[in-house]
Amino acid sequence: MAGTLVDGTAAAVGIECFCSPHEAGFSGIIKARPEDFCVQEVSEDGTVVDLSPGDEKDVVLAAPPSAPAKIKKSIETSEPEEGWRAFLDTTLGPNVVDAIAGIVTSHETLVRIPAPGDLSDKVKLLHAIQHCFPGVQSDNAKDDHGAAVLALSLDPLFAKLRQGGMAGDDCNRVLAFLLRGPLAATADDGVALVHAQTKEARTKMHRLISSSTSSLVTKTTATGGVHVSFSPKTLQKQRKRKQDTFVRCTLQKVRLPSSVRHASSVRYASSLQTNVDHFSALDVLARAFRAAVADLSVAGTKDKRAVTHQHVVVKNVTPETIRGVAGQLHSAGLAVGGLQYVDRPLSLGQTRGNRCEVNLDSTDPPPTCRFTIRIRNVDAPASLVGDAVASVHATGCLNYFGVQRVGHPGVPVRSHHIGQAMLQQKWDDVVRLLFSQTQLHDVNLTAKQAFLETRDIGQALKDLPDKCATERAVLMGLRRFGPSEAKKAVLQIPYHRRVMYLHAYQSYVFNRMVSHRMRAHGASVVLAGDLVQDPETKQIRVVDRPEDEDMANVVLPLVGTKIQYPANDVGAHYAAILRDDDVDVASWCQDATVKGAYRHVLCRAAHLTWHADGEKDIIVAFQLPPGSFATVFLRELMKASPTEQPSDDVQASPLSTLA
């Protein structure tokens, strides 16, 4: 069975098996030069993202600011003639409605009801529940058979207000006011409490609401009551959001030679110095645009040592500002252009994937860089390469997360180790791991180790350059909050960097589970209890009849608080891994919660072609779905992890990933 082939080098991060039937592989080096590895996003409409010279030189908006916004369908939620409560009784039955009412009176902790399949029916049902029971919150969930349900529970704010002494009907008034939102026509009217008539009661309510939510403010009225309204900050934020503008630009990461660094056209200019990691690129753009990093959205992260093309949507930054700084970005290895107004920001995964062109230099790498798997003669004939391409094209590859996500197996502390410590809430360990060796060639390791030995924050800030953004954020947090406040210091790491450590642990567990399933069952057999994603509805369900299912639809979960596990031995192995790692998903706090997701076990490349380029080089071109890794695909093709040319920029984030 093909799955018995094991790549021991990458096994430390869970990458162990192959699934394609060809056994003869070949060696090769990737990323010897940045232009050897080109990545282009493919947008949702199938357009391959590119930045032509004209796009950068003549920054032209493809749609004017006055372009009409996309018309959104409005779902009618007006109250039925019989009233909301009677509607619930008819729709759910009196017993179920009584159970929902019991949530507020603490008789029931959780009530699950079937979710209507029609969106309009679902919205109407949720509106009725909110109207009759403002203190009840609803979450989308799955039952044991994978059917969609609504999980109803007590709203945390309602519980806090009740525990603080607010009367039940006043709690309902406050929650109903919040649910209507700051954009409602009656938002400025606020709501009055009716059970705070004494001075002591009013003081208690003022303090309770102030400590419970930052969205509301209170004041004492002339008649001696308590009036609750939205805070000015909440009103401003929500109303501003309604007026937000979004400009999409094409971002190209390419470092220019000094002789042409200030040229007006950079599409085809590149050099050996291209080493711009994803997060650093966003930081540079944010500073240039005078915006927060949170105002920039992308559909995926891209590899550092490569020439990449992707869309970036910028919130509330004018096209004139982007045009004005475009030329200044060249020295940072970036180019922007092709501006267009859009109606919303991007979200992760909002592409059809990436189109990649990879130049493999087949020169035999030095022994210290060679992987310990059956790497064949570097002078592999064209027939061998052709057979490998045909084999992988037919079967696909195991959809592992690459070492760019989980951390390089050659270093003692990897990204998934840090994420695991975060999920365990062992914050002192997180600090220790961050200041350990996390990269193969870390020129700042001496400075980091010196801090661990001396705990001299001031000296460490002097020794570590600005590029060490993560470590410096922790140091400044320790200086601000005190040496014993490790958690507060870690939370000073920018959110987008911090959450990538959590994703690294999720990815590490996923890799281990793919290898376990491959060893136990292979890559061609669907099992009873497996999880599959419906290609049309994208819904996840449990397999009852394996013979009716396609292995291409089988998914495994990324561990989290909102997912279900396979109902077979694979699901049991998840529990064993988490137990061995001392990770309890149920105990994850708000600072570290990841909801989880699902990922296909197999990945297939589209538009796969190859050709020889000279005596030693081959060019491979292919397209991958969102979230899949080109290096993982090349590993399956070559039957060994491709050797990467070491980067000369060791300060880049260890979490730069190839989407």
Question: What is the pLDDT at residue 304?
Answer: 66
Give the chain's radius of gyration (CA, Å): 28
- Kindly give the residue spans of alpha helices, DSSP state H, lying in 213-352: 232-242, 278-289, 319-325
Question: What is the pLDDT at residue 410?
Answer: 86
* Dihedral pair phi/psi, residue 427, rounded to 5°: -70, -35
Specify the 3-state DSSP secondary structure of 63.
Answer: coil
Question: What is the pLDDT at residue 553?
Answer: 94
Residue 12 CB neighbours (<10 A): 18
What residues does CATH 3.30.70.3160 cover in the chain? Answer: 37-65+245-342
- In angstroms, the Cα distances linking 592 to 149, 417, 498 are 25, 14, 9
Q: Pick from 38, 55, 19: which is nearest to 622 by CA?
A: 38
User: Is the Cβ–Cβ distance between 599 and 555 less than 8 Å?
Assistant: yes
Two tokens at 257? Answer: 């030679």
Question: What is the pLDDT at residue 35?
Answer: 65
Two tokens at 423? Answer: 């999920």
Query: Residues in the chain with pLDDT < 50?
Result: 1-8, 56-72, 255-274, 355, 362-378, 590-591, 647-659
Q: Which CATH architecture has domain 415-496?
A: Orthogonal Bundle (1.10)
Encode pLDDT of 263-321 as tens digits.
332 222 222 224 566 777 888 888 888 888 778 888 766 666 667 778 888 888 888 88
- What does the alpha-carbon distance between residue 585 and residue 579 come to, in Å, rounded to a whole number? 10
- In angstroms, the Cα distances linking 506 to 15, 540, 543, 601 are 14, 19, 23, 15
What residues does CATH 3.30.2350.20 cover in the chain? Answer: 501-603
Give the CB-side neighbour count of residue 388, counting CA atoms within 13 A: 24
- What does the alpha-carbon distance between residue 140 and residue 94 come to, in Å, rounded to a whole number? 22
Encode pLDDT of 559-612 as tens digits.
988 889 999 999 999 999 999 999 988 776 544 567 889 999 999 988 888 887
Q: Which CATH architecture has domain 37-65+245-342?
A: 2-Layer Sandwich (3.30)
What residues does CATH 1.10.1510 cover in the chain? Answer: 415-496
Q: Which residue has the tokens 């094209």?
A: 393
**What is the amino acid identity at position 518?**
M
Question: What is the pLDDT at residue 334?
Answer: 82
* Dihedral pair phi/psi, residue 13, rounded to 5°: -115, 20
- CATH fold of 501-603 reads Pseudouridine synthase (3.30.2350)
Specify the 3-state DSSP secondary structure of 140.
Answer: strand
Does the CA dihedral 471-475-476-481 come out positive or negative? positive
